[in-house]
Amino acid sequence: MLTFLGFLGEMFADANFVLKIFILLTIVSWARMHLGKSALSYILIAGFCYFVFFSDLWALFGGVYLLYMLFMLGFASIIID
Protein backbone atom coordinates (compact mmCIF):
# COMPACT_ATOMS: atom_id res chain seq x y z
CA MET A 1 0.00 0.00 0.00
CA LEU A 2 2.82 2.40 0.83
CA THR A 3 4.51 1.76 -2.50
CA PHE A 4 1.28 2.63 -4.30
CA LEU A 5 1.02 5.91 -2.39
CA GLY A 6 4.66 6.64 -3.21
CA PHE A 7 3.90 5.98 -6.86
CA LEU A 8 1.00 8.45 -6.78
CA GLY A 9 3.20 11.06 -5.11
CA GLU A 10 5.89 10.69 -7.75
CA MET A 11 3.31 10.81 -10.54
CA PHE A 12 1.89 14.06 -9.11
CA ALA A 13 5.40 15.55 -8.88
CA ASP A 14 6.10 14.59 -12.49
CA ALA A 15 2.81 16.11 -13.66
CA ASN A 16 3.64 19.29 -11.76
CA PHE A 17 7.06 19.43 -13.46
CA VAL A 18 5.48 18.96 -16.90
CA LEU A 19 3.02 21.79 -16.12
CA LYS A 20 5.93 24.05 -15.13
CA ILE A 21 7.75 23.32 -18.39
CA PHE A 22 4.57 24.01 -20.39
CA ILE A 23 4.11 27.36 -18.65
CA LEU A 24 7.75 28.31 -19.24
CA LEU A 25 7.43 27.48 -22.94
CA THR A 26 4.26 29.57 -23.11
CA ILE A 27 5.98 32.52 -21.43
CA VAL A 28 9.04 32.25 -23.67
CA SER A 29 6.83 32.12 -26.76
CA TRP A 30 4.81 35.13 -25.61
CA ALA A 31 7.90 37.17 -24.74
CA ARG A 32 9.59 36.40 -28.07
CA MET A 33 6.46 37.23 -30.09
CA HIS A 34 5.63 40.50 -28.32
CA LEU A 35 9.02 41.80 -27.20
CA GLY A 36 11.39 40.26 -29.74
CA LYS A 37 14.92 39.31 -28.79
CA SER A 38 15.55 42.34 -26.60
CA ALA A 39 17.12 42.57 -23.17
CA LEU A 40 13.68 43.13 -21.62
CA SER A 41 12.51 39.85 -23.10
CA TYR A 42 15.41 37.94 -21.54
CA ILE A 43 14.92 39.64 -18.17
CA LEU A 44 11.22 38.77 -18.20
CA ILE A 45 11.94 35.16 -19.12
CA ALA A 46 14.60 34.86 -16.39
CA GLY A 47 12.24 36.37 -13.80
CA PHE A 48 9.45 33.98 -14.65
CA CYS A 49 11.84 31.02 -14.68
CA TYR A 50 12.91 31.91 -11.15
CA PHE A 51 9.28 32.38 -10.06
CA VAL A 52 8.07 29.10 -11.54
CA PHE A 53 10.92 26.87 -10.36
CA PHE A 54 12.03 28.40 -7.05
CA SER A 55 9.15 30.44 -5.61
CA ASP A 56 6.79 29.12 -2.95
CA LEU A 57 3.93 31.01 -4.58
CA TRP A 58 3.91 28.45 -7.39
CA ALA A 59 1.52 26.25 -5.38
CA LEU A 60 -1.12 28.99 -5.63
CA PHE A 61 -0.26 30.31 -9.09
CA GLY A 62 -0.07 26.88 -10.76
CA GLY A 63 -3.60 25.89 -9.82
CA VAL A 64 -5.03 29.28 -10.76
CA TYR A 65 -3.20 29.21 -14.10
CA LEU A 66 -4.46 25.71 -14.88
CA LEU A 67 -8.07 26.67 -14.12
CA TYR A 68 -7.69 29.85 -16.19
CA MET A 69 -6.35 27.90 -19.18
CA LEU A 70 -9.15 25.33 -18.97
CA PHE A 71 -11.74 28.11 -18.74
CA MET A 72 -10.30 30.04 -21.68
CA LEU A 73 -10.06 26.93 -23.87
CA GLY A 74 -13.68 26.13 -23.08
CA PHE A 75 -14.76 29.72 -23.72
CA ALA A 76 -12.85 29.82 -27.00
CA SER A 77 -14.48 26.60 -28.17
CA ILE A 78 -17.92 28.09 -27.47
CA ILE A 79 -17.05 31.20 -29.49
CA ILE A 80 -15.73 29.12 -32.39
CA ASP A 81 -18.81 26.89 -32.45
Its sign, for the CA torsion 37, 42, 44, 48, is positive
16 contact partners, CB below 8 Å, separation of at least 6: 62
Best CA proximity match to 50, nearest among 27, 29, 71, 30: 27
Whether this prediction's pTM lies above 0.75 is answered by no
| Each residue's pLDDT tens digit, 3-58 | 666 666 777 777 778 888 888 888 888 888 888 888 989 998 898 888 888 877 77
* Domain total of the chain: 1
Best CA proximity match to 58, nearest among 66, 44, 71: 66
Instruction: Note the pLDDT of residue 17.
Output: 83
Q: Which domain holds residue 25?
A: 2-80
Instruction: Note the pLDDT of residue 76.
Output: 65
